[in-house]
Structure 1
């Protein structure tokens, strides 16, 4: 889903005016509000990277509300003169920044925002309202949030409830009761926020309150309501945001436009915003040694002083010793710098494609303002027909370079692209972790800051420079092999999986949602009964008050926002309310995150959900997924398992699940070279029962279910560096008993103990561990002076080669399947792959799929794959 940012200019402008001390340009024009506002907007661009944005303004003329109530905004004072003169500059900035702007008489900016919220939702976009004005609480709903940039807080539905004590659908009534002195909205005289909250906990709305006035317990409140009946209803009309302002219905009118770089530079120079000019537009030369302070006008410092050494030195110093290399050669840098002088030519996709040769090596990249293609010293901006570009490039077998190419391939609708270089994936191989932000990765490895509003030529130059830098880093270990044999070939496989998607049974989820709603209502009543009063169970603040002030339960740590009510705290409470709240939270999360959310993620064009696989995010090498996150469906519970029933095959087709059996334990058996573990897998024994037989010194056929359960906990715990305390917590047994079990385990499986000891020793020595494929994971915690952090690092060192190898192995299997088997692969969840086809097709492919998956890597123990076919994921699992 794309996002549109709706900026309430008045709110941000006023706050900037009062937040920044008086400042003037060389010509004597006040500029403090401009400076503060521009600071907020550039941070918004940097952090949020919006594709769509609209500035909304109030008009000088009175709004239509003045006709409804003549006293509306009658108390407003005139805008300070030194603020008024700055407004034209804000409008110029919007124009030069390519930000669409709207003001429509006789409506207010709030009404324009309300209308655009409605339009954004109609087009299935996420909407972010940028303002500090609480009135927008009434617009918050699914896919709409309020972003207070001053406080750096985003309020969703739960956030509104937590902050103001009422639901968004009651917010108009809340405002109507309270009134607003700044806008001269009368409200109910004598009733403030707390009183309004209390009334709206008992009644649904203003109308409901007045229909049931006799049920209001307090006589004084009843009298206040009666006296203000007329003003309450007129207030509700005044505070209601109008959503039918006549604006363009064409959503592309709100897309960011090309930056007017030279006009913007001239304006910034006029205002003497030198630091903004440099940070936003760059200087047209190498940025490798940026270390100057950011200064405001007249040389006044506006941020803390930095150190005197170059940023490049600071960034490289953060990298491991064996990844520090010398700078690029002067000749190469000169060549790269020459790219800055390129001027992009704007052409339709068809005309660009005509200039491309068979198997050309092409850069593809984009920013919020456009999509660009580059070859050598040629740079094109795609003016139209972007979605045709993929098919044309596929036909010519273009060799693509870029950053996060999968995203670019989706934009151009490529289906069989050939990725030969992706800096996001290269950076991930060099240093596993979130490698999704081009600017951050460029800064980390090149040691420079990209201009916030970089030109296409500046972006192209940065892409080329980053490639050369990362190639040098990869050459210092096995990085090139991992990039070219695992990550790059996987990219088009994941692309096709995302494009294909999977069908969802909406009716089944609706039924589950209704069942969950009933269960949640029942649990809520039970929690209220245990608490002795009604309260918002979703509110950690209110729950904390109930638990630790009313019920006087032993309180844990207290944070700035109240008592801690996390899972760990609730589990330790010696009161049944803790368990009930946890049950409520589990069901509420399942309902909101999956049962209610999945139907909204369905693409209306094909009726399927298309998750996004994140290839360069986790520190372990594993894939993750978003929208929806399929890795975290809580399948350990019966309710969670039922969610899988909603993932279904197309009519006339089935789903096939192929799942590696005990893959991490098999890898542990291989790398530890432990004869006991290897024997169990070579003889195809039940690994947990076989482990239990060794630990408890009993015959395999006499192993009890409790013994097997203990052995299973040890087997899985060992792979994650679990100690006696963790095992005791897991099994609910004394520490001494857990210690004895682990001791017997290591006696019987000495090879595992030797693996753990040698791995920790090597990790401390090198600062990293490696998978069997040679992928490295650096573990900073090992050098920590904090004992707990160091122990965490040691546990990570034990697990990383095992989990990382499993991840690499699954990736290799996906690549081989993509190359050799003509079958639709839909999903990857940990060690499981999901396919779709007719029953005959799937059963015909099973032998080849099993062969590929079980022979993808030669281990000292056999790899084993389990499979099943069904109408839905749960049946096939």
Structure 2
């Protein structure tokens, strides 16, 4: 009977739940969007899963209600709606109207009353109403024909389900609520009676009326006297918790029918609010309904056609290109086809490696290399792409020479919106072009049934491939004016663009690892884990699964009776997370042993066992992927594997780094910037005292230790370690409280350290204050090279969010400038290696450190070259210093 289903949404209930469930979500301009987004997610899920033919959303009306007239203190203790929620409500209602949904607000009545009245009226007309709410008060209206659905619990309430959960039937809910009251609505109830007692009384007597008629039968004198002395309060409470279900509302079912959305309006709303997933979904819906651009996509399926097309390709100043392959890993992928275009809404697909039963003959890749050489290898024909580094690696591995890399739309978008996190083509097409895309899964399938591109028909792949090149072309035309207007062209041209080829080379070279060494490490970790496991079992007197949080929680807090902390949201068991175990470790050694066990388990699974599986069978090396568009500060990240997370400290860190080795007759050369972020701070702040330390080649951490701890330059390592914490904590806006926690001191002592630090370096303090002020004024933080990061958090109403924004405002110029410096150094070194035709190669970048694989004969030359290029990369107010080392593995070169 789905065609008669009417879903009635409790707007305020869902709104508040969304607001508190999703925190700190805002646009890049600082407009809060958490409540809107959460509401639309819940609503969208209901529409998608339940597919209700009829739907209405009911909100509380403004002003006093009938309950306020009866009891002035009704909801008097409830705080007003938060300001950052208030400003979202009008916009949410406009979006719901654009979805063509019925909205209701009835003066003097709460949403509960309207929902109940509509539900009863709908049921009498033969409809099946479902009230969507998290409010328990509405369970009183549940009948055989009226239901309540809680979207958080994903539970549909029938009379039996209400009884199962509350212990009473729907018609008894009012009596239970009247007895216990409701502190959130300031409903008094009977003093001293809570849910358990109220439920037990109604279960015993059946109803409040019957209870009052039989008070003398109550065995508990306190409960009997309390009820007898509060009959007026009880009557008032019952009136307040009873929903008004007889509001004289007209019922015209067609007003509630879910109709066709205003797609264009929704697209504009979602784009403005930066709801990328919702935007893509709306675009896809419009395309599905046939409202799409006329496209001219062609297959070039033989040599004659390609040769006819060749003069046009050679005549173009710009070409957008894209490759189709068998793998997302460019160092393993086989080339299946190339698409290219030079104008919007048209493209050509050249199939080269489709291999399935009935596949037509295709141009051999070797022949395509010959034909397209004058196009792809011509630096005057500028190449456009989305994540073009991937295409560059694939094409090079297939034998193509590629020059003229010019525009990567993914990087352009990242420079404009570094906080987005992802800059995939679907997202960019929806946001900038208002266009939906054919997804990979649309043509390849999902899961075990998914096919690789070479196994899919050319006719199926061609529109997908052409679309990718077409959209990259269109995005370039849209993004470049924005990049230039924002003043971001120099950092793209001078750093991000030339870095593409540097990273492509690094990824193609890869890193050699010692498989036997990793196997040995894995076995040693396993043995140490077993020893720890036995020690833990012995301490608690039983064996259990150490990897099970539930079993561990029971052992720690029930068997050993250690003091519990917070509960988890999902299982509602006491947490056994790291922060909890760290606190427990102060009281019982078993907690520290569990932490050590977990650390070893992570080392084994994430590195010792995982790294050998990532060795490329063709090259015998690991090929990580360096990401230019992930970290908002401008830092590079790496993935598959993340080499930046390879353990550094301790014995295990040394052992793992020993597994990274060079080829025979090569050494590993490491070059590490010394205290680069503090040197950047000296330049940006122009603090004379800080500049003096670095110009005199002093040890900044030892200097601070000497001042703060009244020691000399020969102080012990612990004093220097504490000084290092202070140095970095202060410049990134740490409070006295957080610094105290890091140092293990009191907040008062930590504040004294901060005051002493700023007394020594007053211009640093002025610079940090000015950074926050200027960032708030401009709306973005900026590096020395002009990289920008929007900081909407500085405009947030919530003080904690603003403090987070302040830390971003302090962190970005310093860390971002340091990232720009090492990127520029990488480019300079790479260009010099190419120019001199050296056999050395850059293979790893980890924040401030570069690793090179160097022939024995080039060690001295490369040491000199690398040191010079890194230290002279940019003229700061203080010298940049680089530490060099080399050896037969990564550990030996540290």
Give TM-score scaled by structure 1 length.
0.61
Q: Which residue of 2 aligns with 1:872?
A: 889
1:527 aligns with 2:513: no
Q: Which of 611, 615, 634 is the aligned partner of 1:621? A: 634
Identify the range of structure 1 (639-648 vs 447-456) with the bigger mean alpha-carbon deviation. 447-456
Match of 1:105 in 2: none
1:505 pairs with 2:518: no
| Corresponding residue to 1:419 among 397, 402, 405 | 405
Q: Is the 8 A contact 2:731 2:768 kept in 1?
A: no
The answer for the alignment partner of 2:67 in structure 1 is none
User: Offset at 1:702?
Assistant: 5.7
Structure-2 residue corresponding to 1:571: 582
Aligned to 1:410: 393
Deviation at 1:825, TM superposition (A): 0.8
Contact 1:850/1:865 (8 A) holds in 2:
yes
- Map Cα deviations across residues 396-453 of structure 1 (whole Å, 9 max, x no partner): 4453211001112233235654320010000111111423411112223334433545
1:315 is the counterpart of 2:298 = no
Q: 1:549 to 1:476 in 2, by over 3 A?
A: farther
Counterpart of 1:668?
681
Alignment of 1:514-593 (within 5 A): 514-553=523-562, 554-561=564-571, 562-573=573-584, 574-593=587-606
The 1:772/1:667 distance shift into structure 2, 3 A limit, reads same
* Residues 781 and 792, structure 1, Cα contact 8 Å, conserved in 2: yes
Structure-2 separation of matches of 1:549 and 1:647: 45
| Pair 1:819-2:831 in alignment | yes
Alignment of 1:291-370 (within 5 A): 309-318=265-274, 340-347=295-302, 351=306, 356-357=313-314, 361-366=318-323
Match of 1:376 in 2: 342
- Which residue of 803, 806, 822 maps to 1:794? 806
Q: CA RMSD in A?
A: 3.3
Distance 1:643 1:608 in 2: 16
1:514–1:831 distance in 2 versus 1, CA, 3 Å = same
Distance 1:706 1:357 in 2: 65
Q: 1:682 to 1:444 in 2, by over 3 A?
A: same
SS in 2 for 1:777: strand
User: 1:677 maps to which residue?
Assistant: 690
In structure 1, the partner of 2:488 is: 479
Change in CA separation of 1:696 and 1:390 when aligned onto 2, cut-off 3 Å:
farther
Is 2:386–2:425's contact at 8 Å kept on the other side of the alignment?
Answer: yes
Q: Is the 8 Å Cα contact of residues 341 and 470 (structure 2) preserved in structure 1?
A: no
- 2:889 is equivalent to residue 860 of structure 1: no
Residue 612 of structure 1 aligns with which residue? 625
**For 1:732-783, what per-residue CA distance to the aligned partner results, in whole angstroms no more than 9, with x for missing partners?**
2222222211111111111111111111112222221000000001123223
1:674-726 residue CA offsets vs partner (Å, 9 max, x unmatched): 1111111000011111122333455x446454432221111121233222222
Give the whole-Å Cα distance in 1 for the aligned partners of 2:293 and 2:868.
Answer: 51
- Structure 2 vs 1, CA of residues 302 and 482 (structure 1 numbering), >3 Å: closer, same or farther? farther
The answer to whether the 8 Å contact 2:348/2:466 transfers is no
Q: How many residues align?
A: 571
Query: How far apart are residue 805 of structure 1 and its match?
Result: 0.4
Query: In structure 1, what is the Cα distance between the partners aligned to 2:784 and 2:588?
Result: 48
Is residue 439 of structure 1 aligned with residue 452 of structure 2? no
**Larger radius of gyration between Structure 1 and Structure 2:** 2
Distance of 1:825 and 1:476 partners within structure 2: 35
Partner of 1:720 in structure 2? Answer: 732
| CA distance 1:537–1:786, change in 2 (3 Å) | farther
Query: Does structure 2 retain, via aligned residues, the 8 Å contact 1:340–1:457?
Result: no
Question: Unaligned 5+ residue runs, structure 2?
Answer: 6-44, 50-152, 155-255, 276-291, 327-335, 354-363, 443-462
The alpha carbon displacement at 1:387 in A equals: 6.2
Distance (whole Å) between structure 2 residues aligned to residue 387 and residue 568 of structure 1: 56
SS of equivalent to 2:594 = helix
Distance in 2 between residues matched to 1:544 and 1:19, nearest whole Å: 45
1:642 maps to 655
> What does residue range 645-660 of structure 1 map to in structure 2 within 5 Å?
645-660=658-673
Which residue in 2 is equivalent to 1:428? 414
The alpha-carbon deviation at position 533 of structure 1 amounts to 2.0
Counterpart CA distance in 2 for 1:349 and 1:830 is 50
Measured at CA, do residues 705 and 372 of structure 1 come closer, stay the same or move farther in structure 2, by a change above 3 Å? closer
How many angstroms apart in 1 are the aligned matches of 2:527 and 2:262?
57
Distance, in Å, in 1 between the alignment partners of 2:620 and 2:714 is 52
2:787 corresponds in structure 1 to 775
C-alpha contact 1:344 1:457 (8 A) present in aligned 2:
no
Q: Tell me by how many angstroms 1:589 deviates.
A: 0.6
- Aligned CA distance change for structure 1 residues 704 and 371 (closer, same or farther; 3 Å): same
Structure 2 residue matching 1:873: 3-state secondary structure: coil
Q: CA deviation at 1:818?
A: 1.4
Cα distance change of structure 1 residues 465 and 836 upon mapping to structure 2, 3 Å threshold: same
Partner secondary structure for residue 648 of structure 2: coil
1:400 aligns with 2:412: no
- Pair 1:496 & 2:505 matched: yes
Matches of 2:809 and 2:600, distance apart in 1:
34
Contact 1:506–1:646 under 8 Å retained in 2: yes
Matched-pair contact (CA < 8 Å) for 1:416–1:492:
no
Helix, strand or coil at the partner of 1:382: strand
CA shift in 2, pair 1:818/1:301, >3 Å: farther
Q: Name the structure 1 match of 2:643.
A: 630
Q: Is 1:345–1:379's contact at 8 Å kept on the other side of the alignment?
A: no
Structure 1 residues 367 and 542: alpha-carbon distance in aligned structure 2, compared to 1, 3 A threshold? farther
Q: Per the alignment, do residues 596 and 348 of structure 1 end up closer, same or farther by CA in structure 2, a change over 3 Å counting?
A: farther
SS in 2 for 1:671: helix
- Given the alignment, which residue of 579, 593, 596 partners 2:609? 596
Q: Is the 8 A contact 1:809 1:857 kept in 2?
A: yes
Distance 1:720 1:350 in 2: 60
